[in-house]
């Protein structure tokens, strides 16, 4: 193990955090992980990382602290307070928050951390579980250029497209736009699937040829099998996309940007969640179109 690599604390070992932290371990980083479920800490240890008994324990000696948790309240819960990151990480540490949260939460976190001598980047990702496992995530970053430059070698282990988008909060703003595009794209694919099936077309063949033309997309490539097999095991849960659509609609309202189609899709995501499908993959937007088209789902 290369001793000149920064020591990493990883907080949040869920669908994304587990494979991402393991990719760092494979690359030779010393990674100490903490999350709420012991079995997920055990998984990191089995992969060659270390486990911690608390956030304070995980971050105390870390050069870099990476967080990957579901939403703004969780980021605030792990960052602030006597047991949180800011009180227990050392001065000069770099905190990279890879959660998808509101831009304002990221701005506030960076401001609070500065008082403690801790540098912050917001670095949300796109690519889902598969992108995390394959280390081909797109990472949109907000913060200072010097901190971005320091983090870049580590981020290169986790993703393929890594871009500094502007000051604190910019990564979250770009992530919000990403989630808008993805949701609208999945919705369009779902509508096409139901239309094709009701028309009696060979769905697999149709999706193959569509994906080879201008209608093709990463969404269709990644989600085609979900549509074909009606397999909605979560890579990215509707509950989380619901949260993200709230972020983008709120942020767009604040800057005076209209989201006419995004607003409709946000409501469709919300209705799917209200019908008990919040734990399914976001490709389950197909179920909503099926219900609207008279199918029993």
Rounded to 10 degrees, the C-alpha dihedral 81/84/85/88 comes to: 90
Tokens 């997920």, residue located: 40
Alpha-carbon distance of 295 to 179, in angstroms, equals 27
26, 40, 114, 175: which one is catalytic?
Answer: 175
**Counting Cβ atoms within 10 Å, is residue 157 exposed (0-12), middle (13-18) or buried (19+)?**
middle
C-alpha 47 chain-centroid distance = 22
β-bridge partners, 24: none
- Nearest 10 degrees: Cα torsion 234, 37, 106, 217: -20
CB burial of residue 5 (10 Å; 0-12, 13-18, 19+): middle
Distance CA 164, CA 152 (A): 10
Burial of 87 (C-beta count, 10 Å sphere; 0-12/13-18/19+)? middle
Where helices occur in 90-202 by DSSP H, the ranges are: 103-114, 128-134, 145-158, 170-198
| The two three-digit tokens of residue 155, written as one number | 């981020």
243 in active site: no
Q: Which residues are catalytic?
A: 175
């Amino acid at each position: 193990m290369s001793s000149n690599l920064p020591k990493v604390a990883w907080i949040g070992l869920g669908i994304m955090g587990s494979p991402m932290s393991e990719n760092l371990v494979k690359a030779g980083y010393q990674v100490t992980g903490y999350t709420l479920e012991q079995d997920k800490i055990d998984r990191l240890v089995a992969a060659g990382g270390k486990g911690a008994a608390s956030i304070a324990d995980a971050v105390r000696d870390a050069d870099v602290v990476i967080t990957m948790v579901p939403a703004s309240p969780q980021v605030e819960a792990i960052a602030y307070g006597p047991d949180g990151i800011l009180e227990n990480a050392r001065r000069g540490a770099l905190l990279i928050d890879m959660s998808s949260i509101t831009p304002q939460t990221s701005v506030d976190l960076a401001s609070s951390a500065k008082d403690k001598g801790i540098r912050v980047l917001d670095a949300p990702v796109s690519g889902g579980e598969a992108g995390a496992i394959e280390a081909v995530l797109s990472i949109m970053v907000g913060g200072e250029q010097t901190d971005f430059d320091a983090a870049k070698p580590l981020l290169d282990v986790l993703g393929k497209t890594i871009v500094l988008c502007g000051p604190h909060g910019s990564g979250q703003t770009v992530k919000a736009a990403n989630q808008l595009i993805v949701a609208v794209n999945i919705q369009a694919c779902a509508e096409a699937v139901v239309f094709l099936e009701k028309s009696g077309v060979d769905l697999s063949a149709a999706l193959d040829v569509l994906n080879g033309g201008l209608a093709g997309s990463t969404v269709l490539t990644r989600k085609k099998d979900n549509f074909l097999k009606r397999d909605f095991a979560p890579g990215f849960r509707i509950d989380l996309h619901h949260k993200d659509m709230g972020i983008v609609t709120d942020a767009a309202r604040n800057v005076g940007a209209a989201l006419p189609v995004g607003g409709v899709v946000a409501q469709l995501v919300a209705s799917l969640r209200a019908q008990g499908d919040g734990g399914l993959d976001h490709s389950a937007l197909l179920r909503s179109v099926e219900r609207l088209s008279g199918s029993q789902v």
